[in-house]
Amino acid sequence: MKNSTTIIMLLALALTIVSACKKSDDNDDDNNNKLPDAVFSMNVSGAESQTVNFTLPGNVASGNAINGALLSSQELFTMNASPLPITWMLGLAAELSAIETGTYNLKPGVSAYTSPSQTTGYIAVSGTITISKAELYQGVSSIKDWFIDGSYTGTFQDTSTPPNQITISGSFSGINIKAQ
């Protein structure tokens, strides 16, 4: 279980980084096609503490990356945030079949956080992610690009030395989600 969770999170993070590194067309003068800024905040408290706030103008990864995916056939939504190069990582996962506003439970054992020390990993034992705004940007073939806003909170447990726990909460806006 632990290895499959790690593999899923690494795959989701790789997809996040690849899709977040897209460049905008410099010749596009139409502001209607301008991508929104991605804004992310995270507060970690408990056995460890960390506060993160960043903005990615035009949703282009630079010193940080955040992005997500929805595999509707698997009812798996993922959203990952990390600095580049990766020194910490937050991966949120929930059961969704479509991008819609609402509050969804984090998948225990699949949502995970790696601390900046990278000596400790935490997995979710409970929590929620709320999508307060969902806008379809474009749909090409079976893949749709969404931009979402919302918030999240969760309790995560140390995988090496339970019962060490942390609480992670924060908000996000303008986050690109590739849905298939």
pLDDT in tens, 59-100: 999 999 999 999 999 999 999 999 999 999 999 999 999 999
Closest C-alpha among 122, 154, 166, 127 to residue 5: 122
Q: How many residues does the chain have?
A: 180
Q: Tokens for 142?
A: 């079976």
Output phi, psi for 160, to 5 deg. -95, -40
The owner of tokens 């690109």 is 176
**C-alpha 175, offset from chain centre:** 8
Residue 23 has pLDDT above 50, yes or no: no
Per-residue confidence (pLDDT) for residue 60, from 0 to 100? 95
Per-residue confidence (pLDDT) for residue 71, from 0 to 100? 96
Per-residue confidence (pLDDT) for residue 112, from 0 to 100? 96
Q: Which residue has the higher pLDDT, 163 or 147?
A: 147
Residue 173 has pLDDT above 60, yes or no: yes
Per-residue confidence (pLDDT) for residue 27, from 0 to 100? 41
Least confident residue range of 2-6, 65-69, 94-98, 167-171: 2-6
Question: Residue 14 belongs to what H/E stretch?
Answer: helix 2-20
Average pLDDT over all residues of the chain: 86
Number of other residues whose CB lies within 10 A of the CB of residue 12: 23
Q: Which residue has the higher pLDDT, 18 or 139?
A: 139
- Reported pTM: 0.82
Average pLDDT over residues 96-120: 93
Per-residue pLDDT band for 32 (boundaries 50, 70, 90) equals low
